[in-house]
Amino acid sequence: MKIVKDFDVENKRVIVRCDFNVPLGEEGILDDFRVRKTLPTIQYLRERKAKVVLISHLGRPKGREMKFSLKPVAERLEELLGRRVEFLNDCLGEEVKQRITEMEPGEIFLLENLRFHPEEKQADSSFTKELAGLGDIFIQDAFGVSHRQHSSVIGLPAELPSGIGFLVEEEIKTLSQVINNPERPLTAIIGGAKINTKVRLIERFLREVDSLLLGGKTANIILSAKGVSVGKSAPEPEVIQLVAGFDLASPKLYLPVDVVAVDNDNVRQAVCGDIREEEMVLDIGLDTIDIFSKIIAEAKTIIWNGPMGKFEDERFTAGTMKIIEAIAASPAFSVVGGGETAELVNRLGLADKFGYVSTGGGAMLKLLSGEKLPGIEAIFKK
């Protein structure tokens, strides 16, 4: 598989698929982590006099919703690069085509949100061909969407000479190393919701890690499958069926022994097995934090994805925060990934306490699960 260094890019129009799906607030970008991670590829191309055409999505717009415009990203890129980044208000059309035709070597353009066009998510062939007409070379540097079957992910590699950027190269090497050849003990921590995206990952971890710690809604589902009541947090029967094949008696599996339960405004520490029907489970408890922290302290490699509870509510932040502190204090090589997980670590200014912070959520989970990523496979085939 080719990487960006394998191409002669001088005076070539290089389309770079970036992942600028960043959180936005009233004052602009709240976390520019994903933007900064793409800078090495952009700078490399600019220094070698490529005509750099950046494309990305942002959010899930329904049509042309300007609250999802990439213009704030262009402004932040200018600040980070210290040079002009021209923003075009669409990603297709005659005006866009004309401006790119007039580009000078070393110039950087950022096109408007790909998802303003529904054809992007539909992997529409006409859309793909029109997009491909804007470039001579395609570089995939958006690891966070490499598991998607979208035009800019799987379509462009079929139309143009293609390779991966420095960000994607780093992601693949790091994540492959921690799952295939880790220093042991290897501890994995899985929280959050969306159990359907984590079934294969948990199955693999139960086979290959030394300790698997579960929190969040994921833990509630497994507890329910083991016959432990989690009150109003109980999942639907079809959700429990997703984990029917798990080895729930595995000595590697660590579930909460106590939790933070809430009924209206009544919040209490509750032992698992003593949760009332009217209560919701929204965090791991103090004893669980202690058990998990001791396992983390003994690990040599740590993989973490997903919060331990409803951390956006300050009443239920303790579990997630204590796990962050335990990982940050550990000398182990630690990998953290997932949108809200990585965002939280960056917001707290603790990214430098982790061995590696991945830009991917679903893509990271799929790669660690042993599944193939369509966006990477498309480059391989090319």
Residue whose C-alpha is closest to residue 228's, from 188, 173, 272, 176: 272
Whether 34 is catalytic is yes
Given the residues 155, 215, 216, 339, the one annotated as active site: 339
Q: Which residues contact 206 (CB under 8 A, 6 or more apart)?
A: 212, 246, 247, 250, 252, 253
DSSP three-state, residue 199: helix
Beta bridge partners of 267: 262
Whether 360 is catalytic is no
Which backbone phi and psi does 223 adopt, to 5 degrees? Answer: -60, -45
Token pair for 332: 């182990």
Given the residues 36, 129, 194, 382, the one annotated as active site: 194
Residues 42, 34: contact at Cβ < 8 Å? no
Given the residues 12, 13, 34, 76, the one annotated as active site: 34
Whether 362 is catalytic is yes
Whether 194 is catalytic is yes
Q: Around Cβ 278, how many Cβ atoms within 10 Å?
A: 12
Alpha-helical regions (H) of the chain: 33-37, 39-47, 71-81, 94-101, 119-122, 125-132, 156-159, 166-180, 199-208, 216-225, 237-241, 286-298, 318-329, 339-347, 362-369, 374-381
Given the residues 216, 338, 362, 375, the one annotated as active site: 362
Longest Cα–Cα distance in the chain: 69
User: What residues are labeled active site?
Assistant: 34, 194, 339, 362
